[in-house]
Chains A and B, each alone.
Chain A
């Protein structure tokens, strides 16, 4: 039930116009039960954490190579009116880029559902909206039930079993959706 952040393996990201590689989240929805954290993640998480802590201490000290690799390519020369594209077109495309803001697409899988859906995390302002969107996309599977403490949970449409949204963060740990502030 893990979800990759890359696009499906049939496409190479070089060919696609969108670059998802900076999204570090994977999102999983699974039925309640023990959360199986892969042994690799628990054993490797400490060294990862250690490395992370070490690097965050040296945050000011980014390896210049890493910084260069991460930085966008240096802006190329600008020539007036070149390439020959109408302002209307340039503005229209800029508007789209502005509104979608390098969309953060993640794939979502549901236990028992035969298909994955893609969700743009940038399109939602909070977990509530995300849950509602997931309900829309998987409407055959579940609905949102409001619980006594005003908490909204995804619930199987047929038998009322609760769905627990989880995701795998960039350290490889399984997290409950909602623990970390949305931003």
Chain B
């Protein structure tokens, strides 16, 4: 690419229709790297979210920040997901990029509030500091006071995941001097009183994450809160509700009619009736995240009130494997019937039926994301005791735009036959405790033309499937297999056939010594992670990871 004049390269790039393709290309092209303004990096495999990836596996942010500090000082935005970020890395970031505007960290770990203090202190034009569900070490509230008086550019501030206290006075001062604030998500430590005071300064606020809404208050505080909320005419999205007492909920009512987004999924203190009294007023709701204490009856209320619903997530409140959930297939059928615009679903429930799934598929052909988690692995149709192949088959057949699918319950190879046959736009598939034989995985690899990410756990797929279509992995972002039937030998064959893939195996139980055994070993590989690489094997792998 360096042989061509820039105008020619730009002309070639102009044929790339999508943003993401252009971004990807610009990363690979060394000429373009110095001009990079926005960098998005994702580290660990998705199943790291569920503790399936051992700690210290990798995903370190430091090399990326160091390389950027050397090579593209014009960097303005850095977005990282599932990475290990250190305070030193944040300090380097804060000091290296004079035009830095936005830091978004999602599900990251390894840093503390001291690192945030550096960001606040040195990023003079900071517009966005968005910390989503990170594991942040609390080293005190100092960081919030570090924003200099000259910093008035904040548009988005999300510190909901910070566990410790914050200094209310600093917070109020910061908000008061940030006239452009559109999105503000507070943490649990922020009181109702502080929230009321802050809201007097944010007439343009569109998205609010509350602090705690506990019962220990004076009624006047809550009346002040209602008055303050009423000033936020642009407010469309609400979250937080930490420790929310049912008594506080009516004070939110005046806002409900204008809400398009509502996240109550961290509030187990609200029950079915509290939730439905609020949600039934949210007639414009497009996105709803709740806990399963809403129950099927509550979901019926959602279905009859929220006709514009596009995204629904119902999370479990009980984390035992076969735990009780007040939510079954009935709730989802009601939703599908009342909310035909539904396109994105994450649904934890304790049972499902084929009939329900078939009905849901007919009612909602617009699904783009369909993630169903039946809490008990391999649970059959609750009425017929049959596998749920036909139900999921209906989903992939009817929902022609489906891009992401997670399946659960009792499933045979047949469901994979349907997926391979119909899910032509599927990009990401998550499989757990499913299938009978290698045929299942083969159907997916051969049929899903747009597959980018495949993650499988506890399913009987072995070397035959792993090696059945090796060229496919070059078209994919990654493959994860854990507790399946692949062996060391199979992985070695894969690595030798496909040099442009990194084949990582992790066997923590055995320790590294057993991996030194002769290559003909047929011992099962506990965890396998395969991904494309242009740079060869990584150098930062810990000793429980073997790259073949």
Contact = CB atoms under 8 A, between A and B. Distances in A.
Interface of A: 7-8, 10-11, 14-18, 75-90, 92-93, 95-97, 99-100, 103, 117-120, 123, 133, 136-137, 139
A85 B315 contact: yes
Contacts of A136: 217-219
Contacts of A78: 320-321
A89 B293 CA distance: 15
B511 to A, nearest CB: 18
B326 A81 contact: no
B321 A77 contact: yes
Contacts, number: 120
Nearest to A99: B243
B218 A103 contact: no
Interface residues of B, number: 52
Contact of B50 (A10, A17, A82): A82
Question: Which of A15, A75, A78, A103 has the most B CB atoms < 10 Å from its CB?
Answer: A15
B309 interface: no
B316 interface: yes
Contacts of A90: 319
Interface centre among A77, A80, A83, A90 (most CB of B within 10 A): A83
Contacts of B268: 17, 93, 96-97
A14 B291 CA distance: 15
24 contacts: A8-B273, A15-B271, A15-B297, A16-B271, A17-B268, A17-B295, A77-B322, A80-B50, A82-B50, A82-B432, A83-B316, A83-B373, A84-B373, A86-B133, A87-B49, A87-B135, A88-B133, A89-B265, A93-B268, A95-B188, A96-B268, A103-B269, A123-B214, A139-B219
Interface string B312-330: 0001110111110010000
Contact of A16 (B243, B245, B293, B432): B293
A70 to B, nearest CB: 17
A71 to B, nearest CB: 15
Contact of A85 (B50, B161, B271): B50
A83 B161 contact: no
Contacts of A119: 215
A83 B323 CA distance: 10
Nearest to A77: B321
B107 interface: yes
Q: Which 5 A-B pairs have the closest CB atoms?
A: A17-B293, A81-B50, A16-B271, A76-B320, A88-B133
A17 B326 contact: yes
Contacts of A14: 326
Contact of A88 (B161, B247, B323): B161
A81 B315 contact: no
B375 interface: yes
A96 B107 CA distance: 20
Given A17-B291, A77-B320, 15 more contacts: A11-B273, A15-B326, A78-B321, A81-B47, A81-B51, A81-B457, A83-B348, A85-B348, A87-B49, A88-B133, A88-B134, A89-B266, A96-B243, A123-B215, A133-B215
Contacts of A89: 133, 265-266, 315
Nearest to B51: A81
Given A18-B271, A93-B268, A117-B247, A87 B321 contact: no
